[in-house]
Chains A and B, each alone.
Chain A
Amino acid sequence: MNRNKLKRMVNYLYIIPVFVMLCLFVLKPFLFAVEKSFFRYNGAFVNEFIGIDNYKRMFTDTLFWTSMKNMLFFALAMVIQFAFPIIAAELCFNLRTKLRQDFFRTSLIIPMVIPSVIIILVWKFLYYPGVGVISSLMSSLGVSQDKIPLFLGDTSWVKPAIAMIGFPWIAGIEFLLTFAALQGLDQSMFEASLIDGCPKWKRILYIDLPCIAPQLKVLFVLRFMGLVQNYENVLILTQGGPQNSSLVPGLYIYNVSFVPNGNSESLYGYACAMAVILFVICFAVTALVMREKKEETR
């Protein structure tokens, strides 16, 4: 009896490491951020409870709203981008030999395995005014020098220019996992549709996509979360400029906590409050997308 109990306790040893790591390095900072969002805190000696003042501050902070609007732009762009890996996965899945499938499945994701910094910096070079690839291409096509936009240096061009990076946006986990989802479907459905003389595009629209919808929703949520938390592209390319026209919330949080803006006060607590609001947005989007999923399966 005692020995059995001991044995059962031993089983927990297998899963303890993962929980210890997650608690120490993810949960603890998460709770810390939630706590400090209610404090005036500069990371050191200024540490004073101020209730929800940090949250109130967001409503009147025009920079915060600018960054949210910019994020909305990138989120809308993401919806368009999201279609490409799915289209590519469908096309690739429908290829008739395994060799062809493997070729495209491997080569299309090559940018995934090199540092994203490289992709970002190469695109910076493509966009570079005057000597960059795109502007020299445009001028050799006869576009006059003063009509070529500055791309990353132009308030109206900077967001589309950043969203274009990585075109056609296939190299990512979405492509692989959509392909996997298609592979996981009951293959006899495809044969049945073939015998019934159903055209391929109809099959894709009415069989494939509805069947993999649950997986697509998960991928959509993950991609949206990736969008909210990723700001290294903006940090490297424009630091949010020109005139904050590419500032995103993640970068703004980074800025106010590391770079005290002008005055000596680091707004660390305020940064935490903004992070908490973005968590809430992420969870809300997740809940929204997942709830629809339940209704559909009913």
Chain B
Amino acid sequence: MRKNKRESSDVISIIILSLFLVCTLLPLFIMVFTSFKDQNEILMDFWGLPERLNLDNYITAWKDIGGYAYNSFKTTLLAVSGIVVVSVFAGYAFSKLPIKGKKPLFLVVMGFRMVPTGLLIIPMFMNVLSIGLDNNHWGVILTNIATGSTMAVMLTKSFFDQLPDSLFEAAKIDGAGELKTLTNILIPLSKPIIGTVIVFNFFTYFNQFMWPYIVLSDKALKTIPIGLAALAGENGVDFGLQSAGYSIVAIPLIILFLATSKIYVNGITSGAVKG
């Protein structure tokens, strides 16, 4: 009896969550659905099924945005690598090393999370301009390493907090130097959190719009999200072409997410419990 009651409350939850899910994903389904249609099909009969699996839109869209892929991968991967290096070292030190005043120093780093960098975008642009990195991928990358490292340090620190101190002390007693502790103990142990930091920041910076939009002015340097906005701007009501452009970008990202969702979801949820 009781079991049945609990099962029925699960059914209600599942129905509500499924409704949420349908609403969440509906725009994406419309996007994919529209991407196979030509202009006439969209205007005449929007809700009808595509007449055939028409890939013309995809070919045109790829010609337009394919060139941005290199820029996107370059800026994203370099920023992510930087964030990983900076945050693993800092997180380890904040958690395990005897450093004078490390608590207030850690709070200072966390305080930077509270700076609304979106409003600072113009001064930040003036900043990269003053060091000659405007219209340069490094202007995008270095600033993103700085802004991305705060959340990453929080994740890595709380990860290392969960590891026993004795692990690192034992290595030192055995005569392992700092460097050896680092390569033989720290890096292998922190694989899960490194994975989370990589995956989370990859999606964040691959999808970033405002900052690269402002820093990069040469068309040859721009990234995919900016290319998509331009595609929409130049092709007014050609929704088939636009949707194909969005789908080319969105579908691989969604597949990548589904493949890495354990690392993404578990890492964020376990590391942040205390935050």
Contacts and interface: CB of A to CB of B under 8 A. Distances in A.
Given A33-B123, A176-B268, A18 B246 contact: no
A153 B228 CA distance: 22
A212 to B, nearest CB: 10
Interface residues of B, number: 94
Grouping DSSP codes into helix (H, G, I), strand (E, B) and loop, the A interface class, with mixed when no group exceeds half, is helix
Nearest to A27: B112
B25 A180 contact: no
Interface stretch (A56-64, A74-82, A226-234): A226-234
Contacts of B108: 19
B211 to A, nearest CB: 10
Contacts of B126: 29, 32, 43
Interface stretch (B55-63, B145-153, B162-170, B187-195): B145-153
A148 interface: no
Interface stretch (A47-55, A110-118, A154-162): A110-118
A170 B20 contact: yes
A18 B30 contact: no
B136 interface: no
B116 interface: yes
A30 B123 contact: yes
Interface in B111-160: 112, 114-124, 126-128, 142-143, 145-147, 149-150, 153
Contacts of B250: 114-115, 118
Given A15-B105, A21-B145, A91-B17, A257 B114 contact: no
Interface in B1-48: 6-7, 9-10, 13-14, 16-17, 20-21, 23-25, 27-28, 30-31, 34, 42-43, 46-47
B114 A131 contact: no
Contacts of A28: 127
A211 interface: no
Given A118-B228, A177-B272, A111 B24 contact: yes
A19 B95 CA distance: 16
Contacts of A15: 89-90, 93-94, 99, 102, 105
A124 interface: yes
B242 A171 contact: no
Contacts of A22: 109, 112, 146, 149-150
Contacts of A236: 229
A125 B269 CA distance: 34
A282 B34 CA distance: 41
B234 interface: no
A25 B126 CA distance: 11
Contact of B242 (A17, A33, A125): A125
Contacts of A282: 114, 116
A12 interface: yes
Contacts of B16: 91
Nearest to B256: A113
B175 interface: no
A92 B10 CA distance: 9
Given A24-B146, A25-B142, A253-B119, A180 B9 contact: no
B112 A225 contact: no
A181 interface: yes
Contacts of B115: 26, 30, 279
Contacts of A125: 30, 34, 239, 242-243
Contacts of A94: 9-10, 13
Contacts of A113: 203, 207, 253-254, 256-257, 264
A179 B272 CA distance: 11
A133 B242 contact: no
A258 B228 contact: no
A218 B27 contact: no
Nearest to B261: A106
A254 B122 contact: yes
Contact of A25 (B28, B109, B124, B272): B124
Nearest to B237: A131
B207 A116 contact: yes
B97 interface: yes
Interface in B249-263: 249-250, 253-254, 256-258, 261
Nearest to B118: A229
Given A15-B94, A17-B86, A26-B120, A95 B249 contact: no
20 contacts: A8-B100, A11-B93, A15-B90, A18-B87, A29-B120, A32-B123, A33-B120, A33-B123, A88-B17, A108-B24, A117-B225, A118-B249, A122-B243, A136-B47, A176-B265, A180-B272, A180-B273, A225-B116, A253-B122, A254-B121
Which 5 A-B residue pairs are closest in the complex by CB-CB distance? Answer: A229-B118, A14-B93, A180-B269, A25-B146, A29-B123
Given A84-B20, A116-B225, A254-B121, 13 more contacts: A19-B105, A29-B127, A92-B13, A104-B17, A106-B265, A110-B25, A116-B209, A176-B268, A179-B269, A180-B268, A183-B269, A228-B118, A279-B116
